[in-house]
Structure 1
Amino acid sequence: MNEFLNFQVIADNIVYFMVGRFPHGPLGGLGLTLYLAVVSCILSFFGGLILGLLSIVKNPVVRYPAVLFINTVRGMPLLMVIFWMYFLMPALLGKTVPEAQTVIAGLTLFTSAYMSQIVRAGIEGIPKGQMEAAISTGLKHWQAMLYIILPQGLRNMIPSFVNQFVSLIKDTSLAFIVGVSELTHVATQVNNRTMAYPTEIFIFIAAVYFVLCYAFTSLSRWLEQRLAWRKAI
């Protein structure tokens, strides 16, 4: 076994795999992967919430453009969305935009479209009688949505949000296409430098992604059980 696999290359470059050149240079590796995922997930939550609410508005002037935008983004590969952000953002803003920010914009745009469907399904899953009862008490439609419907829907959406976050962690690996030094890009750099341990390097990278995704998948299952237990009480 040792004749074929030598994981010393991992030990020699473990700091670079974890944080890149930080603190003596830009953050990279696993640290940058988590940064991209967390920031994109937070922004996508609010983006998905807004798009989801717009997609169920009764006014067709508001609803149709939102639905068109959602379906257009969902019908495209994430890689194309990242390329859009990479080339269009500097052109629209008239200045150079850091690659990490363009990737965050692409991930946010793409994930918001998917999260919007989670929001829409969560809201539509609430019995319509609750909205009617809230309005009959004197609340306006937006007040009933904000204080009655949305809090209940969000509680049901939590497991789906966690699953989307797991998918987002894996999607950050596409950032290496535009030169962002996240985990996959760092692995490629180390592999190109050593030219002798590709199997060991990418087994390690696969293991890191597996641990991250498994941890958040387990969290999702735990949340589902907790929510089911609370409903049963």
Structure 2
Amino acid sequence: MFGLDLSFFNWDIISKFVIKGFLFSIQLTIVATIGGIIFGTLLALMRLSGKKILVVPATIYVNGMRSVPLVMVILWFFLLVPAGFYALIPGGSNYRAEISAVITFVAFEAAYFSEIMRAGIQSISRGQVNAGRALGMTYAQNMKLIVLPQAFRNMVPILLTQTIILFQDTSLVYAIGAYDLLKGFSTAGKIYGRTEEAYLLAAVVYFVMCFGLSYMVKRLQNKIAIIR
């Protein structure tokens, strides 16, 4: 169909080109998710603190990041950060694109996870917060022991959905030459003269993975709804 020949795609191609990119895409997704949730939670707490000195910078950061396309942030960081920065990291000069991608994704995703966590925190009944205060808990203890555990539980399906979107977005690091899943397919396609087939197969892999994960998240969301 359309002159496509998918016979070139075999285990030899997968082991030489695709697996390396796939592993980096997974690693980038995991690191960006963990880092994004950690920094996003801190940003959410800053915005909910009621203290102007914390609210203003956190709001500017979140709204600023959410107003700029991710690919632009990736390019800005990669092109504007001096090479000396990467030299400070052992072996960093050889993996400039990959290191840049990790830092950019954590910084960018923190803004989105921040809004998710802020909504989760605000969804907790004020009665529970007041009960914690009545027991003599400080603000930090209240957040750690009462609010955040419930907020995380409530937000699990949304956090997982954002992680799936994050995995899809990892393909954007192709713009700076990082060796991700898409780069692996692209490299194999160029070497074997099967560029169209390589991109088609890459799309199929992304679709299967993301569709399957989305289905699992939907099942989890239904179970959580039943428990409630």
Matches of 1:56 and 1:227, distance apart in 2 = 26
Q: Give the equivalent residue in structure 1 for 2:22.
A: 30
Matches of 1:87 and 1:54, distance apart in 2 = 30
SS of residue paired to 1:13: helix
Q: Give the equivalent residue in structure 2 for 1:124.
A: 122
Q: Give the equivalent residue in structure 2 for 1:206.
A: 203
Q: Give the equivalent residue in structure 1 for 2:15.
A: 15
For normalisation by structure 1, the TM-score amounts to 0.88
Taking a change above 3 Å as real, the CA distance of residues 34 and 152 of structure 1, as seen in their structure-2 partners, is: same
Structure 2: which 5+ residue stretches go unaligned? 88-92
Q: Give the equivalent residue in structure 2 for 1:142.
A: 140
Matches of 2:86 and 2:188, distance apart in 1 = 34
Q: Give the equivalent residue in structure 2 for 1:133.
A: 131
Aligned pairs for 1:1-233 (under 5 A) are 1=1, 4-11=3-10, 12-19=12-19, 28-90=20-82, 93=85, 95=87, 96=93, 98-195=96-193, 197-231=194-228
Matches of 2:118 and 2:198, distance apart in 1 = 41
Matches of 1:220 and 1:94, distance apart in 2 = 37
Q: Please say which of residues 213-222 and 185-194 is displaced more in the overlay.
A: 185-194
Does the 8 A contact of 1:54 with 1:63 survive in 2? yes
Matches of 1:16 and 1:135, distance apart in 2 = 58
Aligned residue type for 1:225: N
Identity of aligned residues (%): 30
Structure 1: which 5+ residue stretches go unaligned? 20-27
Aligned residue type for 1:219: M
Q: Which has the higher contact order (CA 8 A, sep 6+)?
A: 2
**CA offsets per residue over residues 106-137 of structure 1, 9 Å max, x none?**
11111110000000000101111211111011
Matches of 1:89 and 1:227, distance apart in 2 = 44
Taking a change above 3 Å as real, the CA distance of residues 18 and 124 of structure 1, as seen in their structure-2 partners, is: same
